[in-house]
């Protein structure tokens, strides 16, 4: 999302970096501590990032997580708008479990043949976690 100022054109012209970017994982904490305004702000931020990511032709994996998780792979916001907005409205309201979140991203998704095409492009991926950061203890297994 970083745009580089074109030094040859000093009149507010920008160009995209030439590097190829991978998918972006947007993980929104929907636990009880996020209920209300914090969750609305988090999901609004997620939607703004999705719009920018789509402009950059990046795949997006949106994850709502708490004690459980659900995910939505977004490839085209125009075609998937209604389903995506419906997904954004979902919440869990329980406790949060970041070990489950990271296990899902790094182990379960790559092992699932249905999502292998998405996870094969993991090189250059970005992971954004939006939370109050009242996290559960990250196990040694997760950190390794």
Residue with the larger pLDDT of the pair 139 and 65: 65
State pLDDT tens for residues 66-75. 888 888 988 8
Q: Facing residues of 27 across strands?
A: 63, 129
Considering the entire predicted model, what is its pTM?
0.76
Look at residue 103 and tell me whether its pLDDT is greater than 90. no
Instruction: Reduce the secondary structure of 26-77 to three states and give it as a string.
Output: EEEECCHHHCCHHHHHHHHHHHHHHHHHHHCCCCEEEEEECCCEEEEEECCH
Asked if pLDDT for residue 136 goes beyond 90, the answer is no
The percentage of residues in the chain with a pLDDT greater than 90, rounded to a whole number, is: 22
Is residue 19 over pLDDT 60?
no
Give pLDDT, residue 21: 75
Q: Which pLDDT does position 53 carry in this prediction? A: 92
Q: Are 20 and 8 in contact (CB under 8 A)?
A: no
Which of 9-18, 70-79, 105-114 is most confident?
A: 70-79
CB of 97 closer than 8 Å to CB of 124: no
Tens of pLDDT, residue by residue over 33-50, are 888 999 999 999 999 999
Cα–Cα dist 132/136, whole Å: 12
- Proportion of the chain above pLDDT 70, given as a percent: 75
Classify residue 46 by burial, with Cβ atoms within 10 Å: 0-12, 13-18, 19+: buried
CB-based burial of residue 13 (10 Å sphere; 0-12 exposed, 13-18 middle, 19+ buried)?
exposed
* Mean pLDDT score, 78-90: 91
pLDDT over threshold 60, residue 5: no
């Amino acid at each position: 999302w970083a745009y580089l100022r074109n030094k040859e054109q000093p009149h507010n012209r920008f160009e995209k970096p030439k590097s190829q970017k991978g998918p972006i994982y947007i993980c929104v904490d929907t636990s009880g501590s996020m209920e209300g305004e914090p969750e609305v702000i988090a999901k609004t931020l997620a939607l703004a990032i999705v719009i920018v990511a789509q402009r950059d032709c990046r795949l997006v994996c949106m994850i709502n997580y708490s004690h459980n998780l659900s995910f939505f792979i977004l490839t085209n916001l125009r075609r998937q708008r209604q389903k995506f907005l419906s997904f954004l409205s979902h919440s869990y309201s329980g406790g949060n479990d970041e070990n489950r979140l990271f296990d899902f991203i790094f182990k379960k998704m790559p092992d699932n043949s249905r999502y292998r095409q998405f996870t094969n492009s993991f090189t250059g991926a970005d992971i954004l976690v939006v939370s109050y950061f009242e996290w559960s203890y990250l196990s040694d297994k997760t950190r390794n």
